[in-house]
Amino acid sequence: MRGRAHRFPPALGTIQGMEQARDPYAVIAEYYDLEFDAFTEDVDLYLAFARRTGSPVLELGCGTGRLLVPLARAGFQVEGVDRSAAMLARATERLAREGLSHVRLHQADLTDLAELPACRYTLAILAVNGFLHLPSRAAQQAALVQIHRVLRPGGLLLLDVLHPTPAQLEGWEGHLLHDGSWSLPDGSQLDRFSARRVSPAEQTIETRLFYDRRRPDSTLARDAVTYTLRYVHRFELELLLEGAGFAVEAIYGSYQLDPLEDDSPLMFVVAQRA
């Protein structure tokens, strides 16, 4: 999933209780494509790397299939992995609409890819902060070991993660953001609000999302969910990759492969299975 910047209004106690019992990604999946269908800034970059490596391509944290479709349309053999059944259900619907039902999907946690064969894939993709959804250093280490196992020798891993600059982290703390408004097919109006709580000591960003849906009869319903990202710094990430058996080829600061600089918003990492 993407998870770059979000915010939040105060929640009722009943809503907070509901959050504890719900899978946040099941709620997010319902609305995910409203925002991210229009996000195509990284597509050409992944297609270029896929042309470099050839098939088969594995997208990890594939969500609703935003990248699976252009990769499959371009003729690559592609498979997707996600731990969320709700996200995979949306991806299945999208692939069917596009006539791409041959694309294989797997429900699995990135820390356990045992159902995937060893040394199969030439390219593995973890787009828009998917790696940061792994909740701890141990989980991130375990996932990289699993990815190393399923890549062919010389295969590439592409990671797109937040560049956690002080300005970016400080800018989120204590702010309420209105992320956008969308008209839904049933005539409802959806507004999303979000907020983040940053813990530098734990290297975590707790994000709360509020989906306010005003129906045609003017009644208002709210879905509220919380998820946490664990961000990583550049040299920490290099050590994690090297410890899992990868050689870092390059770290860029944009999808145009600009150098990583102090104010770069993201780190785009190219690593090779050594």
Assess whether pLDDT exceeds 90 at residue 15: no
Strands 177-183 and 151-162 turn out to be unpaired
The percent of residues above 70 in pLDDT, for the chain, comes to: 92
pLDDT one-digit tens code per residue, 135-176 = 999 999 999 999 999 999 999 999 999 999 999 898 887 788
| 3-class secondary-structure state, position 194 | strand
Domains and CATH numbers, the chain: 13-23+165-230 (2.20.25), 43-163+233-273 (3.40.50.150)
Check if the beta carbon of residue 239 is closer than 8 Å to that of residue 215. no
Using H for helix, E for strand and C for coil, what is the string for the chain?
CCCCCCCCCCCCHHHHHHHHCCCHHHHHHHHHHHHHCCCCCCHHHHHHHHHHHCCCEEEECCCCCCCHHHHHHCCCCEEEEECCHHHHHHHHHHHHHCCCCCCEEEECCCCCCCCCCCCCEEEEEECCCHHHHCCCHHHHHHHHHHHHHHEEEEEEEEEEEECCCHHHHHHHECCCEEEEEEECCCCCEEEEEEEEEEECCCCEEEEEEEEEEECCCCCEEEEEEEEEEECCCHHHHHHHHHHCCEEEEEEECCCCCCECCCCCCEEEEEEEEC
Model's pTM, two decimal places? 0.90
How large is the average pLDDT for residues 95-101? 95
Residue 264's φ and ψ, nearest 5 degrees, are -65, 135
pLDDT one-digit tens code per residue, 101-128 = 899 999 999 999 999 999 999 999 999 9
Q: The tokens of 30 are what?
A: 């319902």
Assess whether pLDDT exceeds 60 at residue 8: no
What pLDDT is stored for residue 35 in this prediction? 87
Residue predicted with more confidence, 18 or 13 = 18
